[in-house]
Amino acid sequence: MPTIPHTDLDVSPLCLGGNVFGWTADATQSHAVLDTYADAGGNFIDTADVYSQWVPGNDGGESETIIGDWLAGRADRDRFVIATKVGELHGLHGLSASTVRTAVEGSLRRLRTDHIDLYWAHIDDHATPLTETLGVFHDLITEGKVRYIGASNISGLRLAEALEAADRHQLTRYVAVQPHYNLLERDFERRDRDIVARERLATIPYYGLASGFLTGKYRPGARPGESARGGGAAKHLEDDRAVKVLGALDDIAAGHGTAVAAVALAWLGAQPTVCSPIASARTVEQLTALLPMQDLRLTGEDIARLDGISS
């Protein structure tokens, strides 16, 4: 298992995303996915307090509640690295000290745990001083409610400012970043990867499968269907580069006798600074196509081909 630098967190090569729990997967389906992931040796689960507030009738926190109920039924909580986020929930938007204080208590309650292993700043809040946000995170770590902190959706420039502020004021530093990064979205490499590498932080990318397009489910000439996420994936069918990437993934997957999704995630996992890509699964069948990435080793030729065609 890879270790997140500057921590004692050993995590699975595949991080299971919880954004579909309480959205396209109900509690029963979600628990089946979690059971299968755990049985396959997975230990890294990522969610957010805002999941899935966008669903009519939901208030947010549904994913955390589902994960918390599942955790409560197990005797091995400490085996799992549980990550959640603060800053986007309606009524608790931003990263002020009071907001973070209120939000963390809600997350701990819903997750039915006394600590969060990795607590993400979900957004970059320019309206709140960095020292205020880092200060409350530092206090939560001192109190044992949070173990480590990370920053999602943060630019390299702001990350550098946050790390400098943490050092200057002797506050806890971010240990990881969570950017939008996959074979079709590679801006992170050009904009932010240098600072992440220099500071030896972990990259834990979201949308690793480009909203499902890189699973191979969506093909030119086929209707995308009516799934909740189908529109976001199907838009890539209009991009010649994306279609060529899919063709290369098909060839490489066939050569390794594995699923297209596993190859896409293995490419991401092989990139500099990347520790554990995030991918979600609505069903056990979907998860089964992702799990082989944990042991899949692409050849240098495979990686070079995908690098070239997706650039």
Within the chain, what is the greatest distance between any pair of CA atoms? 57
CA neighbor of 118 nearest in space, from 47, 180, 41, 36: 47
Buried b (16+ CB within 10 A) or exposed e, 193-210: bebbeebebbbbbbbbbb
Phi and psi at residue 216, to the nearest 5° = 90, 5
3-state secondary structure at position 37: helix
CB 51 within 8 A of CB 88: no
Neighbour order of strands in the sheet with 116-121: 202-203, 174-178, 146-152, 116-121, 81-86, 44-46, 15-17, 278-279
Residue whose pair of structure tokens reads 């699975």 in the numeric block = 12
Q: Which of 37, 51, 119, 207 is catalytic?
A: 51
CB atoms within 10 A of CB 121: 25
Phi and psi at residue 73, to the nearest 5° = -90, 0
CA distance 272 to 156: 15
Exposure on the CB side of residue 238, measured as CA atoms within 13 A: 6
Q: Which amino acid is at 157?
A: L
206 part of the active site: no
User: So which residues are the catalytic ones?
Assistant: 51
